[in-house]
């Protein structure tokens, strides 16, 4: 009789994240191919896409797409962190700039202008970060909204620098507040922002390519697996041990992450 702990472990194993998703589909497809090979010469479909060599080629392509998607996801995560680090101190830096500007001899109108821009900076980027929850596909809408916020941050910081350059009396002794240092900071912000945009594009394209080869309703891995099962069923019969070997192999649509 199965113990309580064994039963609990069994249930845990069934729901383990490692047994779900794209990688599990690929692993199950590999098992399906192994059974087809084991059927020997009896497994002889007329459709080219169901032949063992074609199945093996499809599996290889799927594995390559999975690897590429994982690599692009890592690049996107790294770019997200790099941009976050580049923008982390912008709000506090902007406040320091405003205070330094206020005691530089600038007129009140100029001070009001730079304070107005600073207020905009303090409100961006959005609290909704581009960092994604683990094992979930990035939400396009959230990415877009957050991207707009970072773009605005760059624009507002650029506006502050423009105000400073038009005030000859602004000449602080602190190196991090000098215009040259602020221009370098702005360039770094623009660079990190552009790198994230590019990395997300690459990651998004990789997911599309992976989803196409796995879930295309006509030629994807899941459709091919379905047709293999039907062929085996037609050759050996629905109640045959051969069909029972493969009928329970699961394939699930999962287009996220």
User: pLDDT digits over 175-188, tens only?
Assistant: 999 999 999 999 99
Position 113 in a domain: yes
Domain range holding 96? 23-247
State the residue for tokens 């996220």.
Answer: 256
Position 172 in a domain: yes
**Other CB atoms within 10 A of residue 139 CB:** 14
In this structure, what DSSP letter does residue 242 have? H
Position 256 in a domain: no
pLDDT at 144: 61
Position 252 in a domain: no
From first CA to last CA, the distance across the chain in angstroms is: 40
Closest Cα partner for 59 from 220, 238, 226? 220
Helices and strands in the chain, H and E counts: 9, 0
- Token pair of 84 as six digits: 């976050």
pLDDT at 254: 86
Domain tally, the chain = 1
In this structure, what DSSP letter does residue 170 have? -
Asked whether the bond before 125 is cis by omega within 30 degrees of 0, the reply is yes
pLDDT at 125: 53
User: pLDDT digits over 141-189, tens only?
Assistant: 556 666 778 999 999 999 999 999 999 999 999 999 999 999 999 999 9
Q: Which residues of the chain have pLDDT under 50?
A: 1-19, 126-139
pLDDT at 202: 97
Position 2 in a domain: no
Q: In b/e form, how buried is each residue of 149-158, taking b as 16+ CB within 10 angstroms?
A: bbebbbebbe
Position 11 in a domain: no
pLDDT at 3: 45
Position 4 in a domain: no
Closest Cα partner for 160 from 121, 125, 107? 121
Judged by DSSP in three states, 147 sits in helix
User: pLDDT digits over 229-248, tens only?
Assistant: 999 999 999 999 999 999 99
Closest Cα partner for 119 from 159, 71, 173? 159
- Token pair of 64 as six digits: 């390559």
């Amino acid at each position: 009789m199965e113990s309580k702990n064994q039963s609990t472990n069994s249930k845990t194993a069934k729901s383990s994240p490692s047994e779900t998703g794209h990688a599990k589909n690929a692993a199950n497809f590999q098992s399906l191919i192994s059974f087809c090979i084991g059927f020997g010469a009896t497994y002889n479909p007329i459709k080219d896409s169901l032949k063992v060599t074609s199945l093996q080629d499809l599996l290889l392509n799927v594995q390559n797409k999975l690897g590429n998607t994982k690599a692009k996801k890592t690049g996107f995560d790294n770019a997200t962190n790099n941009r976050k680090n580049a923008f982390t101190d912008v709000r506090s830096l902007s406040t320091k700039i405003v205070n330094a500007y206020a005691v530089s001899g600038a007129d009140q109108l100029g001070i009001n202008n730079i304070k107005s821009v600073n207020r905009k900076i303090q409100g961006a980027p959005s609290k909704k970060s581009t960092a994604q929850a683990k094992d979930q596909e990035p939400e396009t809408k959230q990415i877009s909204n957050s991207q707009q916020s970072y773009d605005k941050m760059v624009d507002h910081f650029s506006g502050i620098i423009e105000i400073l350059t038009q005030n000859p009396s602004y000449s602080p002794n602190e190196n991090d507040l000098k215009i040259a240092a602020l221009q370098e900071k702005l360039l770094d912000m623009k660079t990190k922002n552009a790198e994230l945009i590019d990395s997300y594009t690459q990651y998004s394209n990789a997911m599309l390519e992976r989803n196409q080869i796995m879930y295309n309703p006509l030629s994807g891995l899941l459709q091919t697996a379905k047709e293999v099962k039907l062929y085996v069923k037609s050759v050996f019969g629905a109640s045959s041990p051969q069909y029972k070997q493969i009928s329970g192999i699961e394939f699930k649509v999962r287009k996220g992450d």
